[in-house]
A and B are shown apart, each in its own frame.
Chain A
């Protein structure tokens, strides 16, 4: 089996997902080659053939041009799988490639089981083993699902340069940095986070009170921030902060993968949820099955007393 790995590069840096792509290829015992629209000054630790297009020429976010470059390499390498990270770059590019290659697309692979690809469904409450009916498939990998066990990626790539025309149908106008204002959750030793289960914005006061009783900060999951009940600097997860406090208390948070990615390195996790089967249970040291609106005031009072 041969796989073609598509690494991601942003704002002068190769992203860490490249190592996960390599790990995935090793798990499959597959031959591999890699494509990168990036720069010779930021190459991956990789021992195979790396097809490199200069980002200055091809454009950093220029999907139709990236697609053409990858199609050229597919033509040369004839892989069975084209593999991308399941990121804003990967899930944007994957359907473009799948369409051009008449390929099945398998999104957000979390596991390889007996040689078959497994993906999540229904907010990680179910797992689907899928079977492509096409000779070539386009695959995206869930962030963190294929982290190399001891970070031991090494090697110097054998470079093959690609030429790109900069013409695309989308104009990339630049980046907007994350808001720098607000609280820095990454420094907090205790974080008490509110999820959709708090029900209404007034209940955020209970979360704040518990955070205060534990001498910590309060955080929030995405739905709470999207509803503007909490500011963005308090968001924990893929598109917010990645935190690793001594104690993380998840209140009314079901545990979407994007949230888990932002907090699973916490030293100790307590989850408070009415749903015993909520995916947050997978990373919690303790799951208290309770209505947070009843439990939090009692807990806060006892801690203060």
Chain B
């Protein structure tokens, strides 16, 4: 089988975000970068399928500046066979439609049997690229999967719905699936596999070689949300804090009565 997994590099979400000078995205300085969490599940599922079906070739694709190759190396160390890096320093200015179109441009004539993406990115959170990519390529797509199985050209999965309910679905390959958190347990790359990953092919394609369309959506403004919280903020050493919290519990709630 030929498999493609699409990943994104995102900042650690615990970071303090500042708006950039242009006012259209966050400042990139002082951020720690990692693989988008949803995509870790996508990579793991693709690697598991590669292990299940002999002779499978797994490509990992990522769009962004030079630094995203660090994240791609993690996917290669997890078990992807080769990497394709669409080198685009301005990827953050592209909307999901432009990003999906770039991937479709690359993937269209490659004959992938199955494409894996995360459900959404942690920074943009649009949950669009996977769905748009499937439509651009004319593939059926199963989204929000928390369970995945493949046999004889059929993908069977469970979609996570609200309230803990799941929907069992299936479709024929070629297809695309988007992966929800909890789909599997993403592996940690082992040291020997990290070393092996350094020798794997990592092809860099300048974005100018592809033809991204115009954005359909632009950012008019970006700002931290207005603080609506009227809550009290307590700081201090643990013993003081504990005393203050107990006092508040006695005054404001009935749980200690």
Contacts and interface: CB of A to CB of B under 8 A. Distances in A.
A198 interface: no
Interface string B146-163: 000000000010111111
Given A91-B143, A175-B167, A285 B252 contact: yes
A223 B238 CA distance: 26
Contact of B164 (A106, A239, A281): A239
Given A121-B222, A127-B222, A88 B128 contact: no
B233 interface: yes
A100 interface: yes
Interface stretch (A25-33, A72-80, A156-164, A267-275): A267-275
B222 A104 contact: no
* Consensus secondary structure, chain A interface: mixed
B63 to A, nearest CB: 17
B29 to A, nearest CB: 15
Interface string A167-196: 001111111111100000000011000000
Contacts of B192: none
B162 A169 contact: no
B234 A107 contact: no
B224 A125 contact: yes
A103 B216 contact: yes
Contacts of A247: 249, 253, 255
Interface string B210-241: 00001111111111110111011111001101
A88 B161 contact: yes
Q: Is the interface of B mostly helix, strand, loop or mixed?
A: mixed
B233 A287 contact: yes
Contacts of B231: 269, 271, 281, 284-287
A154 interface: no
Contacts of A134: 216
A235 B164 CA distance: 10
B39 interface: no
Given A105-B128, A106-B217, A92 B170 contact: no
A222 B13 CA distance: 15
B132 to A, nearest CB: 5
A294 B160 contact: no
A133 B160 contact: no
Interface in B79-108: 95-97
A245 B11 CA distance: 34
A112 interface: no
A173 B168 contact: yes
A277 B127 CA distance: 25
A109 to B, nearest CB: 12
Contact of B167 (A61, A127, A222): A61
Given A129-B219, A298-B242, A254 B232 contact: no
A108 interface: yes
- B135, B238, B248 — most chain A CB neighbours (10 Å): B238
A97 to B, nearest CB: 9
B194 interface: no
Interface of B: 11, 13-14, 16-17, 19, 26, 95-97, 120, 122-128, 130-132, 134-136, 140, 142-144, 156, 158-172, 181-182, 185, 214-225, 227-229, 231-235, 238-239, 241-246, 248-249, 252-256
Nearest to B158: A176
Contact of B216 (A104, A121, A173, A268): A104
Contact of B228 (A116, A172, A282, A298): A282
A170 B241 contact: no
Given A105-B96, A123-B122, A287-B231, A175 B217 contact: no
B234 A288 contact: yes
B162 A87 contact: yes
Contacts of A271: 231
Interface centre among B123, B185, B217 (most CB of A within 10 A): B217
Contact of B242 (A107, A178, A283, A299): A299
B139 to A, nearest CB: 9
Contacts of A95: 96, 128, 130-132, 134-135
